[in-house]
Amino acid sequence: MAQNIITLLEEQYPDIRFSVPSAAMRSPYATYRIGLFFGGNDTHQPVDFRQTGFHRIAGHILGVDHREEAPRLNLSATRTIAEPYVCIGVQSTCQAKFWNNGRGWAEVVTHLKTLGYRVLCIDRDPTTGHGFVWNHIPYGAEDFTGNLPLQARVDLLRHASFFIGLASGLSWLAWAAQIPVVLISGFSLPGAEFYTPWRVFSSHGCSGCWDSLNEKFDHQDYFWCPRHKGTERQFECTRLITGKQVNGVIDRLNAQLRENGNIH
């Protein structure tokens, strides 16, 4: 696997020998190819990943229990920020994965501040996009972006009250860091990612193209929207999710944290 993932995991799994692809064993007893095989594969992928979710496909390939289980991480870092804070991740790899409500993030950041939280944006890049569409750090959020080691992100997430993000890697990392995750997504269905009681999803418009067996994801099309591209309904799966809707989820989560004495 990639070296940055090895660095994150190897101390937590001393009985596993990790290696980058170029240094892998040449004559192992047995091999399994673990990954998402687009279009399916009878040998390597017995169940189409669109039917079972990202996190369950490895279990199906290996023939073991496919129920979700977060990886073990080093969660021993001491706290470095005194005030209560929330981490957010607003960037992703294609526009369908973004929260495409133009006012949403600004409304959420404002609301979090009224609740007494600092809001830290921990994406790798402060701005991402393609062509004439670019996505920026939400107004009012603190810039904690940067291409940092994953462990540095874990150290910061560990002491956050919660994380708000998309169907992307930082949400999975926050889940593994054992903090509540508010996950905003519409292009994927709720079962496509790990379970969180704070999932934000709209069923009032088009949704779930990523999980549809009738659609084929185009890696080369940054603006992939297979059903409504070029129309007023493009990206409505997340555009119809409002800031008010997300803030309502935040309020319920915040109330639970306060009741349990978990506001840091």
Cβ 116 vs Cβ 161: under 8 Å: no
Query: What whole-number distance in Å separates Cα of residue 199 and Cα of residue 206?
Result: 17
Is residue 182's pLDDT more than 80? yes
CATH architecture of 85-259: 3-Layer(aba) Sandwich (3.40)
Q: Is the dihedral of CA 6, 187, 137, 222 positive or negative?
A: positive
Contact 37, 45 (CB under 8 A): yes
Sorted by where each begins, the domain ranges of the chain are 3-62, 85-259
**Global pTM value:** 0.94
Using the predicted structure, report yes or no on whether residue 97 has a pLDDT greater than 90.
yes
pLDDT in tens, 65-95: 989 999 999 999 999 999 999 999 999 999 9
**3-state class (DSSP) for residue 249:** helix
Q: What is the DSSP string of 105-162?
A: HHHHHHHHHHTT-EEEE--S-SEEEETTEEEEPPTT-EE--S---HHHHHHHHTTSS-
| Tally of helices (H runs) and strands (E runs) in the chain | 8, 7
For the four alpha carbons of 71, 171, 153 and 161, in that order, the dihedral sign comes to negative
- Residue 40 in this model has a pLDDT that exceeds 70: no
**Over 80: is that where the pLDDT of 25 sits?**
no
Instruction: Grade residue 41 by pLDDT with cuts at 50, 70 and 90.
Output: low
Q: What is the pLDDT of residues 104-115, one digit of tens each?
A: 999 999 999 999
Q: What is the mean predicted confidence (pLDDT) over 233-259?
A: 96
According to DSSP, the β-strands at 85-88 and 163-166 are parallel
- What is the longest distance spanned by two Cα atoms in the chain? 59
